[in-house]
Amino acid sequence: MKGKIVLITGGNDGIGKHTAIGLARLGAQVIIACRNREKAANAVAEIRAKTNNDTVSSLPLDLVTLDSVRQCAAQFQAQYSHLDVLINNAGLFTSYLQHTTEGFELQFGVNHLGHFLLTQLLLPQLEAAAAPHVINVASHGHYAGAIDFDNLRGEKGAAAYRGLKAYAQSKLANVLFTLEFARRYPHIRCNALHPGGVRTRIANKQGNWLISLGWTVGKLLMISEEAGARTPIYLAADPSSAAFTGLYFDEKQRQRPPAQLAKDETLAKRLWEASLNFVDTHASRTP
C-alpha cells in the first residue's frame, strides 16, 4: 500500500481506527474523517506512533449534516489529486427516533445517505486513481432489512420506531448502494462487507439502558475490534482481492451471497435515484 491514498470515515475509534492502523503499517497515506476533532487528533497521534507512518492525518466530517459532507469532500479535493481507496466505515445505532440536520431518520442519514453523497463528490478523485476501490462497511443485519420509502424521515412517528429495524434498513441500503455503484461504475471497484460481531461501543452510545446492557453482556461472545478490521484491510490491500467488485464479504474474508433484496436491481435503482434526489434537494446554498 506504499504511496496509496486511503480515506476512512470514522477512523478515530473501533474498526475504523484498527483499519487505519493496519493500512498505515502497510505504507498507505491514511486520512481519517471524524466528527470530533480532538479525538481525531489523538487517534492520528496514536496511529502514527504505532505504525511509524507520519503521513497519517485527519479531516473533519460530521455525517449528521450533508453540509459537513460537502465541506469534507471539498477539503480533500483541495489537498489530494486522487483517491485510491475510500472506506465508508462510520456508522451508528439508536433505539429511539432521531433526525439528521436535513430531517432524515438518523441511521438512514448517517449510515447510508452521508456516505452516498461523499462517494458521489469524490468520484473525480477516485477516477484519477490507477485502481480505485470503494469499500462499504455493512452488516449481517442487512438480511433483516427492507427499504420503507414512506418512512425515511420517520414519518410514522416515534411510537412506531424500532431501532434494530431502522439499523437493518440502513445496512441494506449500504449493500444496495454497493451493487448499484458497481453496475454504474465498472471501472471503480466497489465491495461491501460484514466485519463480524465486534466489541465496539455502537450500542452503548444511545439512551436505552436495556439495549446498552444487553450489548455489553453480548460483547463477551464477540470478536475484537482488531479482528473486525481484517476484512476491510484485506479488500483494500490484498492483491488477491483486486478482481472483486460488486460483492459482499464476511468477517473471514469470504465472499457471501447478500440478501435477496440486496440483489433486486429495481430496488437498488430506486434507492439510488431517491438518494440523489435527497442530496440534491438539500444541497448547500453556500457558494
Query: Which is the catalytic residue, given 80, 143, 161, 167?
Result: 167
Please identify which residue in the block is written with the cell numbers 492520528: 44
- 274: number of Cβ within 10 Å: 15
Alpha helices in 90-153 (DSSP H): 106-107, 114-121, 123-127
CA dist 101 and 81 (Å) reads: 30
Concerning whether 96 is annotated as a catalytic residue, the answer is: no
Burial environment of residue 160 by CB neighbours within 10 A (0 to 12, 13 to 18, 19 or more): exposed
CB 194 within 8 A of CB 138: yes
CB 63 within 8 A of CB 89: no
Residues whose CB is less than 8 angstroms from the CB of residue 59 and which lie 6 or more positions away in sequence, other chains included: 7, 31, 32, 33, 34, 72, 75, 76
Residues in the chain: 287
Q: Which residues are catalytic?
A: 167
